[in-house]
Amino acid sequence: MSQAPDLPLWAALLVSLLVVAGAGVAFLGSLGLVRLRSFYSRVHAPSLGATLGAGCILIASMICFSVLRSRPMVHELLISLFVTITTPVTLMLLARAALYRDHAEGRTNVPPLPKRRPEGAGPGEGTT
């Protein structure tokens, strides 16, 4: 049994707009994965698309179920917190692993390695 007929028009329009926007952003991220040429360019589009697309869909879910149950539903905040934290961290780890692999193999068309701080140096020291 569907509760969609119980959703007011303003909420249904807002929820549908957010779901379509989230799906569109996720689709654009997928297109970026296919269209961009290098790994370092390609890795950004899906992570941004996944984070923003999932965020829009989660906001739509929060609005829909909050209106239907007449109380705030915040379970989706945990999901959005995990997606927001894990997606950029995964992107960073993948990019660093690929960067170190490419430098170890001697490829020349890759970004430079980040400079390392000397042992015992604090933040901002020794990175000139």
Task: Note the pLDDT tens digit of each residue in 15-24.
Answer: 999 999 999 9
Give the model confidence (pLDDT) of 29-54 as tens digits: 888 888 888 888 888 777 888 888 98
110-122 pLDDT per residue, tens: 777 777 766 766 6
Alpha helices in the chain (DSSP H): 9-35, 39-42, 44-69, 75-104
pTM for the full model?
0.71
Give the residue extent of every domain in the chain. 8-104
Question: What distances in angstroms separate CA 65 from CA 12, 47, 75, 77, 93, one per listed residue?
Answer: 11, 27, 10, 13, 35
